[in-house]
Amino acid sequence: MTVRVRIAPSPTGNLHIGTARTAVFNWLYARHHQGTFVLRIEDTDEERSQPEYTQNILDGLSWLGMNWDEGPFFQSQRLELYRDATQKLLDQGLAYRCYCTTAELDEMRTAQKERGEAPRYDNRHRHLTAEQEAAFQSEGRQAVIRFKIEDDQAINWKDLVRGPMHWQGRDLGGDMVVARATASGEIGQPLYNLAVVVDDMDLRITHVIRGEDHIANTAKQILLYQALGGTVPEFSHTPLILNSEGKKLSKRDGVTSITDFQEMGFIAPALANYMTLLGWSPPDPTQEIFSLSDAAAQFDFERVNKAGAKFDWDKLDWINSQYLHDEEKWPSAQLTDALIPYWQATNDDFDPVADRSWLEQIAGLIQPSLVRLKDAAEMTQFLFTRELVWTDDAQKQLSQDGVEVALQGIIDQLAPSSDSELTADTAKSFINSTVKENKLKKGLVMRSLRAALTGDMHGPDLMESWLLLHQRGEDLKRLQQALKIARL
């Protein structure tokens, strides 16, 4: 048997982290078994589905490396299939038209609540006579199609993550709606459970891998497979992604979509690596950094947890930095390409082409301490700005005894050759002779230089920063400005 799995996002929002993680598990399972990974866009909800969300989902999956083998299939282009399946259920007496109004359904639920019962449809239109139907139609009522669910029906399956699962028909809320009502009396838009089963049968899906929030749907879907004469696939319900409080990760946690993670500066292989660990652990639990194909080689559902997976920002940051710090995986040219949009978002005073070599050197400078790409903007602001602002700490440093002499010493040596290239050796010799001639402590000179050139007391390597500022023609000017501060 060839494994065939699918990811079936609804384009009602940007690609969600939960959907992306489900895609990762499907992809890993497909690749492990040399199977087929199918992409289906579930866009039957006409009001909430938007083409830009479809595009975002396709882009996000591609960015993460979740290449699909078939699709995208669009449910909106397959309505005929769902209509035929619904007609088949009607013809077999497994489904019927229900003419209840919203007010009647509300009233039913209120009465159930008052009796302390769980709300459900009480199957009241299951046995309407032709006359009753005609009467409802002449009142102008519209009918949904309901699929019969017997209360004493047992539903069992062996979940690949959760083991044996048992449901009773009576816990599924009564006969379920499979198609919406239409004014014309025709079979209307299909509902999720019907469309999914029809598609999964049609696309010969062998394993349905999705979040555990779909467990009750699985029970309903198994009944539909049986009614439609389909082979019931294997099911695997993956744990939810939880926030630090153990609640389902949601909009309130600030980030939910893959676009959000992209904007924050997480890189695709690191995010995919982290998502793999959200619920799955490799046979060697000390192995935390791996490519998707490494993970695929080892992936199985035995190592997927039942318990919810806590989203751990520190771990994601750590994994991201492991990728970014690896010069082989991220040579400075590639890092520069990735950083340019972040620099452009905060600075408009550079030319990505003409300043390319300068930018690559900056990328190399911050690479060892970079955690998220977005951090680069702040870390390197002092290199880009033409209007440096000195922090309080830097100003305090500049007001110390000896700083004036130190800065003057450097300026005197730098000024005559300020237009020519500055090498690390020359810069060091300026520092050493300033120390020597003025009998200063080297630490004081270095700290003052950092304060003067970068406006702060912390930052990337000072000597390299100086050389980069020199290339920009900023070093002498800043030393002179800092000297004024030192003289205040």
Which residues of the chain form contacts with ligand GLU (CB under 6 A)?
8-10, 19, 42, 196, 210, 214
Cα 450–Cα 453–Cα 459 angle in degrees, nearest 5: 50
At its nearest, how many Å lie between ligand GLU and the CB of residue 8? 4
422 CB contacts (<8 Å, ≥6 apart)? 414, 466, 467, 470, 475
Closest to ligand GLU by CB, 13 or 341 = 13
Closest to ligand GLU by CB, 4 or 210 = 210
List the beta bridge partners of residue 309: 241
3-state helix, strand, coil in the chain (%, to 5): 50, 10, 35
List the beta bridge partners of residue 163: 159
Length of the chain, please?
A: 488
Helices (H), 39-119: 51-64, 79-91, 102-114
List the beta bridge partners of residue 334: none
Closest to ligand GLU by CB, 236 or 336 = 236
Q: What is the sign of the dihedral through the CA atoms of 33, 34, 35 and 38?
A: positive
At its nearest, how many Å lie between ligand GLU and the CB of residue 48? 11
- Per the annotation, the verdict on 251 as an active-site residue is yes
How does strand 176-179 pair with strand 144-147? antiparallel
Residue 314 CA: distances (Å) to CA of 57, 122, 311: 26, 50, 9
At its nearest, how many Å lie between ligand GLU and the CB of residue 296? 20
User: Could you tell me the two tokens for 172?
Assistant: 């599924």
At its nearest, how many Å lie between ligand GLU and the CB of residue 178? 15
Closest to ligand GLU by CB, 220 or 374 = 220
Report the phi/psi class of residue 126: left, alpha or beta, with left for phi > 0 and alpha for psi in -120 to 50.
Answer: alpha
Helices (H), 115-177: 130-138
Closest to ligand GLU by CB, 19 or 448 = 19
At its nearest, how many Å lie between ligand GLU and the CB of residue 75? 9
| From 220, 247, 251, 477, active-site residue | 251
By annotation, the residues acting in catalysis are: 251
